[in-house]
Amino acid sequence: MSHKRVLLIHEDRLLANLFREKIEGANLGVDVAHDAESALKSVEERAPEAIVMDPVIPGPELTKLIGQLRERAGQSALPVIVLPNSRSVYAEAAQDANAVSLTRGVNPVAEILDALQTALKMENTAAASKGLAFRAEEAWLRMSLGAGPEVLTALRRALHEISREGSTPAAAREFYQRVHAFAEEMSVLGQRPLFCLAAQIEALAYDLHAFPEQINPSILRTLSQALDFFAGLLPDTVRNRLKGPKCGASIDRG
C-alpha cells in the first residue's frame, strides 16, 4: 500500500525530525527539505500531496515560494500548511497564497496532523499516531537538555553582535532566525508560560530585524534578561556550560 506523501520544509533539523516522525506515524510518507532550493528540487523529483512548511526559511518570500512549489509540482491547488509564527505578516502571506496558516497553540503536532487530515481527506489521522504520542517529545527533551547551553550561548553571542556599534542587518537577521527556531522548540514542549515568553522574544527579535533603527539599549537589555531567565531554568549540572555575555553585558549602543 502506497502512502500519501508530504513535503516538510523546515530549516531546524531537530524540529524537522520530530515533525517527520509524527507525520510518518499518521501513515504518511515524508520528504524533508531544509531550504527553498532543496524544496523546489524535491517537488520536481516527486510531487507531494501536501506541503508543511515553516515560513522562515532561506529563499524567496513566502507567497512567491509557495507559488513556485506549486508550479514545479504541477499542482496549482497543492495544499500548503504554514507553521505558526508570532508575526501576522506570515499568516497574511499564507492567506494571500491560499495556504493554511496554523496558529501557535498548546499542541502544534496535533494541529499539523489535523490540518493534514483535512487537506488530504483522511480519517482519524491523529488516532493513527497515538502510539507515538510521547516518543518524539521525550527524545527532543533529552536532546534539548544536552544542547540547551549551546543554544542559549549561540543566542547570547548573536545578541551581542547586534549590540556592537556598526553591526550589520545580517546580524539582526541571524539573531531573529535563531530566536524563531528557539520559540518553535518551546512551543513543541507544550508549556504555555515558556512558549508565550519565547514568542514575545521572537516578536522583539523580528522588530530588530525589520526595523534596525529601533535598536536601543533598553530593548537589548530586555532580550538579554529574557535569555538569562531561560538559562536559569537549566539544571545546575548543565548551566555551567553556558558561555557568552550575561544580562545587560556589553550593551554598547547609545
pLDDT, tens only, 72-113: 999 999 999 998 876 778 888 888 899 998 876 656 777 888
Q: What confidence score (pLDDT) does residue 15 get? A: 75
**pLDDT above 60: residue 253:** no
The predicted-structure confidence for 153-201, as pLDDT tens digits, reads as follows: 888 888 888 887 667 788 888 898 888 888 877 776 666 667 777 888 8
**143, 18 Cβ separation under 8 angstroms:** no
**DSSP codes, 186-251:** HHHHT-HHHHHHHHHHHHHHHHHHH-GGG--HHHHHHHHHHHHHHHHTS-HHHHTT--S--TTTT-
H/E stretch holding 53 reads strand 50-53
- The residues facing 81 across adjacent strands are 52, 100
Instruction: Find all residues with CB under 8 Å of 123, minimum gap 6, and list them.
Output: 117
- The fold for domain 137-239 equals Four Helix Bundle (Hemerythrin (Met), subunit A) (1.20.120)
Set of cell numbers at residue 189: 514542549
User: How, if at all, do strands 5-9 and 29-33 pair?
Assistant: parallel
∠ at Cα 31 (111, 48), nearest 5°?
80
**Sequence spans of domains, the chain:** 5-132, 137-239
Q: Among 3.40.50.2300, 3.30.1330.10, 3.40.50.11540, 1.10.3720.10, name the CATH number for the domain at 5-132.
A: 3.40.50.2300
Q: What confidence score (pLDDT) does residue 249 get? A: 41
**254, 164 Cβ separation under 8 angstroms:** no
Dist. CA 2–CA 115, nearest whole Å: 21
Which has the minimum average pLDDT: 109-123, 159-173, 195-209, 239-253?
A: 239-253
pTM for the full predicted model: 0.63
